[in-house]
C-alpha cells in the first residue's frame, strides 16, 4: 500500500464527502418520512452510494413495486457507471486484481469520476481507495442523521437539501471547463443534447438514466472525432 497516494486520494475526496453528507441528509429525511427505519436507510446508503438510484429505489419500495421493476429501473439509471468504469480503467497506471477492481467500481460516482479523470498522473489503487473513503462515510453518516431528524425538519428544508447534488455537479465541471476549451466544448455539447432529450416531443419519453448514457456517448464520440486528445496528454 502506497500511503502517500492514499493520503493524496483522501485529501482530494474530502470536499465530495462534505457535499455527500448534505445531500444524503435529504435522502435520510425523505426515507424516514416514508416510514423507512433509520437503520434501513443507513444500510441502503452504505451498500449503494448512488443518489439518483437511491431516490428512485425508495419511490419504488414505497409503491410496493416488483423486484424486476426495481432491477430494470436501477439498471437504466446507473448504466452510465459502466462507461465511467471503462474510462477509469484506461487511466490506471498498474494492473489491479479483482477485489481492488470491485472496490474502485463501488466508489465510482459522478463526482469521484470527474476528479479522478482530472488528475494528470496515472491513477493508482491506493489513490482511488483513499478518494472514496470520505464520500462513503459522508453519504452514510448524512443518511443516518437525516433519517433521525426526518420527523423534525420542515418539508421545505428537506427539499432544499436535495438541490445541493446539482450544485456539486456544477462545482466539479466548471473549473476544468474554464481552463480547457475542449472540455468546455464537450460540456456545452452534452448540455445541448440533454436539452434535446428533455424537450423534443419523442426523445423526452426516454428515461432520464438512459438519456444520460446516450448524451454521454454521443458527446464523447463527437469530441473524440473533432477534438482528439494527443496520447501524451493522457498521461
Grid cell 470536499 in the structure block, residue: 15
3-class SS of residue 96: coil
219 and 144 part of one domain = no
Q: Are residues 74 and 135 in the same domain?
A: yes
158 and 98 within one domain: yes
- Do 87 and 161 lie in a common domain? yes
Residue 234's pLDDT band (cuts 50, 70, 90): very low
Residue written as cell 462534505? Answer: 18
- Angle between the 80-89 and 110-118 helix axes, to the nearest 10 degrees? 20
Distance, in Å, from the CA atom of 49 to the CA atom of 108, rounded to the nearest integer, reads: 9
pLDDT of residue 94: 66
Contact status, residue 146 vs residue 21, Cβ threshold 8 Å: no
Rounded distance between C-alpha atoms, residue 227 and residue 181, angstroms: 10
- Kindly indicate the confidence band of residue 210, based on its pLDDT and cuts at 50, 70 and 90: low
Higher local confidence (pLDDT), 158 or 103: 103
- Cell readout for 140 is 452514510
Q: Residue 235: pLDDT above 80? A: no
Confidence of residue 134 (pLDDT cuts 50, 70, 90): very high
Number of domains in the chain: 2
- 171-180: b (≥16 Cβ within 10 Å) or e: ebbeebbeeb
State whether 166 and 218 are in the same domain.
no
Name the nearest CA neighbour of 104 among 122, 80, 130: 130
Q: How confident is the model at residue 1 (pLDDT cuts 50, 70, 90)?
A: low
Specify whether 197 is located in the same domain as 160: no
Q: Both 85 and 194 in a single domain?
A: no
67 and 9 part of one domain: yes
One domain for residues 71 and 169: yes
pTM, to two decimals:
0.67
Last residue of a domain, one of 175, 191, 222: 175
Do residue 25 and residue 61 come from a single domain? yes
pLDDT of residue 164: 60
- 138 & 232 share domain: no
Choose one of 175, 197, 218: the last residue of a domain. 175
What is the percent of the chain where pLDDT is above 90? 16
Q: Is the pLDDT of residue 40 over 70?
A: yes
Which range among 51-55, 93-97, 119-123, 166-170 shows the weakest confidence by mean pLDDT?
166-170
pLDDT level of residue 192 (50, 70, 90 thresholds): very high
Helices (H), the chain: 3-33, 38-48, 51-62, 67-77, 80-89, 98-107, 110-118, 125-149, 155-179, 181-199, 208-226
Torsion angle of the four alpha carbons 114, 120, 124, 126, in this order, in degrees rounded to the nearest 10:
-70
* Domain assignment of residue 230, given as a range: 180-235
Residue 142 and residue 106 share a domain? yes
Most confident of 152-156, 161-165, 176-180: 176-180
Contact present, 109 and 85 (Cβ < 8 Å): no
Amino acid at each position: 500500500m502506497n500511503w502517500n497516494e492514499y493520503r493524496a486520494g483522501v485529501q482530494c475526496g474530502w470536499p465530495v464527502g462534505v457535499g455527500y453528507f448534505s445531500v444524503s441528509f435529504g435522502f435520510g429525511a425523505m426515507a424516514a418520512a416514508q416510514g423507512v427505519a433509520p437503520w434501513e436507510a443507513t444500510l441502503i446508503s452504505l451498500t449503494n452510494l448512488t443518489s439518483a438510484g437511491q431516490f428512485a429505489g425508495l419511490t419504488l419500495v414505497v409503491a410496493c413495486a416488483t423486484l424486476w421493476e426495481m432491477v430494470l429501473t436501477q439498471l437504466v439509471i446507473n448504466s452510465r457507471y459502466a462507461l465511467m468504469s471503462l474510462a477509469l480503467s484506461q487511466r490506471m497506471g498498474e494492473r489491479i486484481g479483482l477485489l481492488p477492481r470491485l472496490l474502485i467500481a463501488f466508489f465510482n460516482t459522478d463526482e469521484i469520476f470527474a476528479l479522478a479523470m482530472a488528475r494528470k498522473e496515472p491513477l493508482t489503487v491506493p489513490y482511488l481507495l483513499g478518494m472514496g473513503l470520505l464520500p462513503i462515510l459522508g453519504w452514510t453518516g448524512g443518511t443516518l442523521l437525516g433519517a433521525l431528524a426526518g420527523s423534525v425538519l420542515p418539508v421545505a428544508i428537506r427539499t432544499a437539501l436535495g438541490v445541493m447534488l446539482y450544485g456539486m455537479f456544477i462545482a466539479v465541471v466548471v473549473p476544468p471547463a474554464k481552463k480547457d476549451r475542449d472540455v468546455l466544448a464537450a460540456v456545452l455539447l452534452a448540455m445541448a443534447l440533454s436539452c434535446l432529450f428533455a424537450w423534443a416531443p419523442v426523445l423526452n419519453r426516454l428515461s432520464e438514466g438512459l438519456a444520460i448514457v446516450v448524451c454521454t456517448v454521443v458527446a464523447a464520440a463527437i469530441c473524440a472525432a473533432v477534438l482528439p486528445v494527443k496520447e501524451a496528454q493522457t498521461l
